[in-house]
Structure 1
Amino acid sequence: MRHFSVFGAGLTTLGLALSLTTLPGCGSRSGTESENTAAAADTTKPVVVDTVALKRQAMMRDSLKADSIAKKNGQLPGAILPGHRIVAFYGNIRAKGMGILGREPKEQMLAKFRKVQKEWQEADPSLPVQPALHSVTITAQAAAGKDGKYRLMNSKATIDETIQWAKDNNCIVFLDVQVGLSDLEHELHKLEPWLKDPIVHMGIDPEFAMKTKGVRPGKKIGTYDAKDVNYAINFLARIVSENKLPPKVLTVHRFTEGMITNYKKIKLDPRVQVVMHMDGWGNPVLKKDSYRDYIQTQPVQYTGFKLFYEYDARPAPHHIMTPKEVLAELTPKPLYIQYQ
């Protein structure tokens, strides 16, 4: 790329660690007595229930209900956006190279994070800041792994500890997914146990979605189509409905045209709040150009903007944009801010 990293989330740490059942058709009554007796016995068996269809119908009912509530009240109860601005620290608590979340000792990082939250609150007192820890949880890898999918999931202990850090510091959590040569259908369900927690939300990163590219992560920039984003939205909407949760936030990383295709076909659902997140790095002028080209001119719902401690300020005289600069120079003003 001409002005930001080809690999926005950073590959420097890639070494890290019913079916439908149909009812039998009616047969002839002209068989032997024993055959007819058996057939009569079969009718007493429990009817097979199509649970997939039932869940689909329930989702449709819940969607209609959610739509009606949202139209009447503006948002579903407990929605974070647009009544807050989410400010997140990104990375992995086990990895120094993936972002600020794991780069510094825990207490030092949290002190810096509190300072950043204060800066954003002072820059825009009209919106309360919602702090977040954005954790890369399924990570693209340089090595194929046993199944050849080039991705690795954090341990349960790491995920649990990250969520506990968040709870101890009044934060929400984003579990971020880099699928490698796998796909969302095979990866997202792994995170469902944690997503049942109301403070846990999700991010998906097309940069490392390589299935349609046919190469390992790092060789090319990956891509998601609207159908992939819609899959993630429907997945989260189901969890919200089944567990009676407030809406989930879904962040979708983007810094090139091709990372998201057919954006107009993304289907919004009140149970899921979608943030299109510009996460390229570079000097402020070119970051603003990218935000305009890929976020502002291709609107979906809410917008996000990323700031890089290590890369935005290099080379001098480039600098990390301040909260006041971001708010003054970006349209629409992003409601999700992420620091890496």
Structure 2
Amino acid sequence: MTSRHRLLPAAALAAAALLTVTACTTSAPEPETAELTVATPQAAVTAAASGTAAERAVETSRALWGSSPVVVLARADDPDAVAEAAEQGERIGVPVLIAAEGVDVATEIDRLGAATVATVGEGPTADDLALGDVDAVPAADVEAPAARDADSSTLVVVSGPADAAASATARAAGAELLALPEGVTDLQQDASVVGAMGASETDSTLVVGSAFTDRPHLEWSVAAARSGAELPGGGQQFFPDRRFVALYGAPGTSALGVLGEQDVAATVQRAADTAAGYQASSDRPVVPMLELIATVAAGDAGPDGDYSNELDPDRLRPYVEAAAAAGQYVVLDLQPGRTDFLTQARRYESLLTEPNVGLALDPEWRLAPDQVPLRQIGGVDAAEVNGVSTWLADLVDAHSLPPKLFVLHQFRSSMLRDRAAIDLSRPELTTLVHVDGQGSQPDKQATWRALHDGAPAVAWGWKNFYDEDEPMLTPEQTMTEVSPVPDLVTYQ
């Protein structure tokens, strides 16, 4: 026989007009036979990211609980009751749900097999829920049921205080809870979040909050954070919380830039010293970087006929390893001659799977079949750039890596043809346009301004030439006379 205990006059609840729930046709088990069982989602990543906290509370309960003889319930329009319900849910050790218009809490209560609804605040009553054999009693009068069968082996990441009910449900299930710091909406944004997620030994991840609604590539974002791998400077986000200062060149030769003027150890130290010269003028921490020319445009066709000499990845690896040990980033620069960028990028896949290695495309040296380096200035279409970025982003995704810096060199508009069509949608990459003009400062500044005109939303790099600039800017001048202030400053 149905048991219904009113807690408030029916008229008061009818006036609230909160609940539109569906009657359950399956009777719940009696309190003495109900069990308290938790669950661990089978999927590596699950999201409770619907539009309201009430919906997300149901999704969290569904993800973490197999059954419960009791649920705690409060009305969505009573914030104090929701807060108290969260406290009561943790005390009793059961799921917490929120009754709201359009949210089918009845189905979740039935799925859990709950025989008791522990209410907080002004209702709702069992009549309002239209449930079967379920008692509605004040939460304060409910004792904790028998201990749950186990803890949920789930890391629950909650994006904001609005999800107090979901957080309480997670704690009651014995899940590991991580609340994102205020203002943080991206898992890659905060070093403490990456550290905590990397340290977790749980089997799965549940992300809770509106911040995760329709988030593209969420599985990668979670997997990358859970890897615990951090970029030089901490965390897994390049900008705007750091600035890079780089040495440019190829190993073993001073003809292509200052990077090749000394051995590996001395190069890493020189990069650190050069970056340190910027810290006093920079409003962000400054991180040293090496830009290694991996493929060098050549004056003759060579055996493969592409007018580009490809360095063996093993020749570059000592730089990558030394930079990683010193907390420095590395970008591999491609000068492909008559071949295409993707063909050359694939050659360095083993290096690009390292978390501190990004990729640069140098269209000056991307030549047509009838062109030769230094006789013509090359260029590349957006379609080819997008082919490389898609491949690189997929590589990051496949290896659960932090985002990679994707650098596009440019000093003429023709070098990046149809630039507006370049795909910037992949969160696995941070795209930076590097302005490589040299010569007099008025000319360099004019090029800088011209390339910014109508530019997409990207980061920006500036290059200082020791021998070609007239004069070369000091670190302080670079920070004060170049506007907007570059995110990356490179020395050649």
Amino acid at match of 2:391: F
| Pairing 1:267–2:423 present | yes
**Structure 1 residues 1-340: aligned runs within 5 Å:** 64-66=216-218, 78-104=236-262, 109-124=267-282, 126-211=283-368, 214-268=370-424, 269-312=426-469, 318-340=470-492
In the TM superposition, what whole-angstrom CA distance separates every residue of 1:136-178 from its partner, at most 9, and x where no partner exists? Answer: 0011111111221111111233111221231232211111101
Question: CA separation in 2, counterparts of 1:150 and 1:114?
Answer: 33
Structure 2, gaps ≥5 residues long:
1-213, 223-230
Task: Find the aligned partners of 2:378 and 2:487 in 1 and give their Cα distance.
Answer: 25
Q: Deviations over 1:224-265 (max 9, x none)?
A: 111122122111110110000110001111111211111111
TM-score, normalised to structure 2's length?
0.51
Q: Is the 8 A contact 1:276 1:300 kept in 2?
A: no
In structure 1, C-alpha distance between the alignment counterparts of 2:404 and 2:220, rounded to whole Å:
18
Give the secondary structure class of the aligned counterpart of 1:261.
Answer: coil
Distance 1:311 1:195 in 2: 31
Deviates more, 1:292-301 or 1:246-255: 292-301
2: CA distance, partners of 1:230 / 1:157: 27
- Closer/same/farther in 2, CA of residues 160 and 104 from structure 1, 3 Å limit: closer
Structure 1 residues 171 and 65: alpha-carbon distance in aligned structure 2, compared to 1, 3 A threshold? same
Amino acid at match of 1:248: K
Counterpart AA for 1:219: R
C-alpha distance in structure 1 between counterparts of 2:474 and 2:218, whole Å: 37
Tell me the alpha carbon deviations over residues 203-227 of structure 1, each in whole angstroms, 9 at most, x when there is no partner. Answer: 110000003x621212100001111
Question: What is the SS of the residue equivalent to 2:455?
Answer: coil
| Cα distance change of structure 1 residues 232 and 63 upon mapping to structure 2, 3 Å threshold | farther
Change (3 A) 1:68 1:247: closer
CA contact (8 A) 2:295 2:334 kept: yes
C-alpha distance in 2, partners of 1:114/1:217?
32
Residue 219 of structure 1 aligns to a residue whose secondary structure is: coil
In structure 2, how many angstroms separate the alpha carbons of the residues matched to 1:328 and 1:156?
38
Conservation of the 8 A alpha-carbon contact between 2:237 and 2:403: yes
- Cα distance in 2 for partners of 1:69, 1:115 equals 33
Identity of aligned residues (%): 28
CA shift, 1:325, in A, is: 1.8
Q: Secondary structure at the match of 1:240?
A: helix
Q: Which has the higher contact order (CA 8 A, sep 6+)?
A: 1
Letter in 2 for 1:223: G
Post-superposition Cα deviations, 1:267-320, rounded to whole Å, max 9, x if no partner, equal 1121111110001111212111111011354244111000011211xxxxx321
Distance 1:299 1:322, change over 3 A: farther
**Separation (CA, whole Å) in 2 of partners of 1:232 and 1:94:** 28
Write the deviation string for residues 188-207 of structure 1: whole angstroms up to 9, x where unpaired.
Answer: 11111111110111111000
8 Å contact kept, 2:220–2:397: no
Q: Structure 1 residues 66, 152: closer, same or farther in 2, change over 3 A? A: farther
Query: What TM-score results when the alignment is normalised by the length of structure 1?
Result: 0.73
CA contact (8 A) 2:405 2:430 kept: yes
Q: Report the CA distance shift for 1:289/1:240 in structure 2 as closer, same or farther (over 3 A).
A: same
Does structure 2 retain, via aligned residues, the 8 Å contact 1:302–1:335?
Answer: yes
Cα gap change, 1:254/1:86 in structure 2, threshold over 3 Å: closer, same or farther?
same
CA contact (8 A) 1:266 1:300 kept: no
Q: Distance in 1 between matches of 2:236 and 2:264?
A: 29
Kindly name which structure, 1 or 2, has the bigger radius of gyration based on alpha carbons. Answer: 2
CA distance in 2, matches of 1:216, 1:84: 38
1:27-76 Cα offsets, whole Å, 9 max, x none, are: xxxxxxxxxxxxxxxxxxxxxxxxxxxxxxxxxxx982359979xxxxx9
Deviates more, 1:196-205 or 1:228-237: 228-237
Amino acid across the alignment from 1:64: P
Count the aligned residue pairs. 267
Contact 1:264 1:300 in 2 (8 A): no
Partner of 1:203, secondary structure, is: strand
Report SS of the residue matched to 1:338.
strand
- Structure 1 CA distance, aligned partners of 2:447 and 2:287? 25
SS at 2:376 equivalent = coil
Say which SS state the counterpart of residue 466 (structure 2) adopts. Answer: coil
Distance 1:215 1:262 in 2: 21
